[in-house]
Amino acid sequence: MGYRGMIDKQNQARDLRAEGWTLTEICEQLGCSKASASLWCREVEIDFAVLEERRRSRFLIGNEGARRRGPNKLQRRKATEIEEMRSEGLKRIGMLSDRDLLIAGLALYAGEGAKTDGAVKFANSDPRMVLFFTSWLRRCFTIDESRLRMRIYLHEGLDITAATSFWSELTRIPTDQFIQPYRAVPDPSIRRTKHLMGCPSVGYSCARTHRAGMG
């Protein structure tokens, strides 16, 4: 390639970079090394919004290809084993007796429940765990339903009305027994994933019930 051809390629690289092309895309288009593309484009002002959109498009296209291909042999074997173990687990456990439920609930409370005297409190973002806890509390202890309380921890920007309705229907705790929710400010430096329905904390103010569980 002559001098003029090299200049043309450098100019093309700069133009593509300004349009939001990644260095990898430029190398594939022009048949050059990434080192060369990086050197040619180092002073180009980039539209980062367009660049991010192109990266996202490439990611989605890659995922679409994987979806069309379907699960590979390893993934199919994993899914089969998970289903086999789930069925085996259901057979091994069977129906829970009152004693089984009491022990399972106590183990769960030991890990996720509050230990301070005066009230039974439990917080978890997994609906299955919250449902199990409220079922355990009602079945294993004599409680006054009107004293049950729930508080939702939910990031700002998420739908508190939908979250309140979801947890109320799941636990059968009326919405008028929900206390002021805690709205957290998202911190992108810590995590990106947010629980859409938040993390509920179930509370039952009764020292005797708490002491019975701790006992």
Model confidence pLDDT, tens digit, residues 1-21: 555 667 888 888 888 888 878
Q: What integer pLDDT is reported at residue 69 of this predicted model?
A: 63
pLDDT for res 71? 73
Q: How many CB atoms lie within 10 A of CB 140?
A: 18
Q: What pLDDT is stored for residue 23 in this prediction?
A: 84
Residue 193's identity, in one-letter code, is T
pLDDT at 184 over 60: yes
- Close Cβ partners of 183 (under 8 Å, ≥ 6 residues apart): 154, 155, 156, 160
In this predicted model, which residue has the larger pLDDT, 170 or 52? 170
- Per-residue model confidence as pLDDT tens digits over 20-35: 788 888 888 888 888 8
* % of the chain surpassing 90 pLDDT: 42
pLDDT tens, residue by residue, 51-78 = 677 777 776 666 555 566 667 788 888 8
Query: In the chain, what are the domain boundaries?
Result: 3-69, 95-214
Report the distance separating Cα 171 and Cα 150, nearest Å: 10
Which listed CATH number (1.10.3210, 3.40.50, 3.30.1330, 3.30.70) goes with 95-214?
3.30.1330
Please write down the HEC assignment for all residues of 63-91. Answer: HHHHHHHCCCHHHHHHHHHHHHHHHHHHH
pLDDT at 204: 94
Place of tokens 């994933």: 193
Banded pLDDT at 39 (limits 50, 70, 90): confident
**pLDDT for res 68:** 63
CA distance 114 to 120: 7
The average confidence (pLDDT) of the chain is 85
Rounded Cα distance between 59 and 188, Å, is: 21
Here the tokens at position 168 are 């109320």
E strands of 108-206, at which residues?
A: 120-123, 148-155, 182-184, 199-204
The pTM of this model reads 0.60
